[in-house]
């Protein structure tokens, strides 16, 4: 969640309706079968920020450039959706309650991901989560080209989620997928599977600064709320969805992975395990550098193998990055870090800056009125 003027107004509304908020059923505790999706998971029961703006019973008949689908399917590198804004040139800070699904397949009922808008991506099969990290043309996902982005999750201050009523499903855990099984499926010509999807109760997405990262945690992990923690919304992908971001842009890989450490929990030099809690305002320093996770059994692909329907060269629009059919980005490669990318050690047109490649401890100034933050390095 990134704070803008609209967000602050919304928080004020919540504060004035505390009794109503407490009476609502939390979105993360609602459960729906994939074969019987509700019209709306929250509808008119979304609290003071409601009603829910979109719908959840998404299928190929609802897929369009204006779809208001608010159900994410997150099965594999060839079959996934991510949240984006409902109208062009908007910011996550101003629209977090109303985000909609952008999908690789029309079967999922969301908005089609535009050809050439994914420049590089990595999918990780970890023990207790699956994770996508991708460099993108964020204008193709509705965001303003200069939006530093923000964080989305099934909680929010009122426990009704951002977006309101947004729910997520995957069959990755129920089918026991890993990198080798995905590769076997892909080489057999199967790009889309649609069985055994289960609703996942804990997930987190950061999008902005030319990057999207999504992490979805298995329901069987008792620590899923810590692994997919949603309270570290100002420090981005680098801390919340650990990956080797310096190697992702221009490549497409699927790997197995160890679990990352819980965001905010780290071991000091003296061996003491410490929990750091992100302040909600003011200036603060992040006292640790995230530890890279070990990956293995990696498979590298061309984007045409993964996204044959997205392989055509896109029409370039103002503020977008033209891309080749293989997803390479020959245009500008990023900007200074914001809420989605996380803290960055350098400035200027370096793609690593957009993803928070960490050089050392730093200070963050939360710009509550601007919905962004500035990083200053020691």
Are 92 and 149 in contact by the 8 Å Cβ rule? The answer is yes
Residues 109, 257: Cα–Cα separation, whole Å: 30
DSSP helix/strand/coil, 97: helix
- The pTM assigned to this predicted structure is 0.81
Are 50 and 44 in contact by the 8 Å Cβ rule? The answer is yes
Are 181 and 130 in contact by the 8 Å Cβ rule? The answer is no
Helix locations, the chain, DSSP H: 5-15, 18-23, 92-95, 179-187, 224-227, 236-240, 303-306
Q: How many CA atoms, within 13 angstroms, populate the side-chain half-sphere of residue 183? A: 16
Instruction: Give the burial string for 255-286 (b: 16+ CB within 10 Å, else e).
Output: bbbebbbebbebeeeeeeeeebebeeeeebeb
- Return the pLDDT at 192: 87
- Nearest Cα to Cα of residue 259 among 300, 301, 290: 290
Residue 164: is the preceding peptide bond cis (ω within 30°)? no
43 backbone dihedrals φ, ψ, rounded to 5°? 60, -130
- Nearest Cα to Cα of residue 85 among 29, 31, 166: 166
98 backbone dihedrals φ, ψ, rounded to 5°? -120, 15
Residue 111: is the preceding peptide bond cis (ω within 30°)? no
Instruction: Give the burial string for 237-248 (b: 16+ CB within 10 Å, else e).
Output: bbbbbbbebeeb
For residue 201, CA distances in Å to 30, 107, 226, 364, 370 come to: 8, 22, 12, 30, 30
Residues 343, 376: Cα–Cα separation, whole Å: 9
| Ramachandran quadrant class, 109 (left: phi over 0; alpha: psi -120 to 50; beta: rest) | left
Are 334 and 356 in contact by the 8 Å Cβ rule? The answer is no
Q: Would you write out the chain's pLDDT as a tens digit for each of its 378 residues? A: 444 444 444 545 555 566 556 789 999 999 999 999 999 999 998 889 999 999 999 999 999 999 999 999 999 999 999 999 999 999 999 999 999 999 999 999 999 999 999 999 999 999 999 999 999 999 999 999 999 999 999 999 899 999 999 999 999 999 999 999 999 999 999 888 888 999 999 999 999 999 999 999 999 999 999 999 999 999 999 999 999 999 999 999 999 999 999 999 999 999 999 999 998 788 888 999 999 999 999 999 999 999 987 744 333 333 333 222 223 322 222 222 335 654 332 222 223 233 333 334 444 444 332 233 222 222
Joined tokens for residue 293: 């996770």
Are 121 and 248 in contact by the 8 Å Cβ rule? The answer is yes
Residues 6 or more apart in contact with residue 239 via CB below 8 angstroms: 232, 263, 264, 286, 290, 342, 356
- Return the pLDDT at 242: 97
């Amino acid at each position: 969640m990134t704070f803008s003027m609209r967000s602050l107004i919304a928080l004020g509304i919540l504060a004035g309706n505390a009794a109503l908020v407490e009476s609502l059923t939390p979105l993360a505790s609602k459960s729906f079968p994939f074969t019987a999706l509700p019209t709306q998971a929250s509808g008119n029961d979304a609290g003071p920020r409601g009603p829910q703006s979109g719908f959840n019973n998404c299928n190929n008949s609802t897929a369009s450039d204006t779809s208001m689908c608010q159900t994410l399917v997150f099965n594999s590198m060839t079959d996934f959706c991510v949240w984006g804004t409902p109208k062009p040139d908007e910011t996550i800070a101003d629209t977090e309650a109303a985000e909609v699904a952008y999908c690789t397949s029309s079967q999922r009922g969301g908005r089609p991901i535009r050809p050439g808008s994914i420049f590089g991506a990595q999918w990780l099969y970890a023990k207790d989560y699956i994770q996508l990290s991708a460099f993108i043309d964020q204008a193709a996902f509705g965001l303003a080209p200069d939006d530093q982005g923000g964080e989305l999750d099934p909680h929010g201050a009122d426990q009704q989620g951002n977006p309101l009523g947004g729910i997520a499903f995957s069959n990755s855990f129920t089918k026991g997928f890993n990198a080798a099984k995905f590769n076997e499926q892909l080489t057999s010509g199967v790009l889309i599977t649609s069985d055994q999807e289960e609703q996942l109760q804990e997930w987190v997405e950061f999008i902005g600064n030319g990057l999207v990262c999504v992490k979805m945690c298995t329901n069987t992990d008792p620590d899923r709320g810590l692994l997919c923690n949603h309270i570290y919304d100002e420090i981005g992908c680098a801390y919340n969805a650990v990956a080797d971001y310096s190697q992702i842009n221009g490549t497409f890989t699927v790997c197995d992975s160890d679990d990352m450490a819980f965001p905010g929990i780290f071991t000091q030099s003296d061996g003491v395990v410490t929990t750091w809690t992100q302040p909600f305002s003011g200036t603060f320093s992040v006292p640790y550098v995230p530890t890279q996770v070990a990956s293995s059994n990696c498979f590298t692909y061309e984007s045409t193998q993964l996204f044959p329907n997205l392989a055509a060269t896109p029409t370039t629009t103002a503020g977008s990055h033209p891309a080749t059919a293989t997803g390479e980005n020959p245009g500008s490669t990023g900007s200074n870090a914001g809420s989605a990318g996380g803290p960055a050690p350098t400035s200027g047109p370096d793609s690593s800056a957009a993803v928070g490649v960490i050089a050392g401890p730093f200070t963050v100034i939360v710009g509550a009125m601007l919905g962004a933050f500035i990083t200053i390095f020691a």
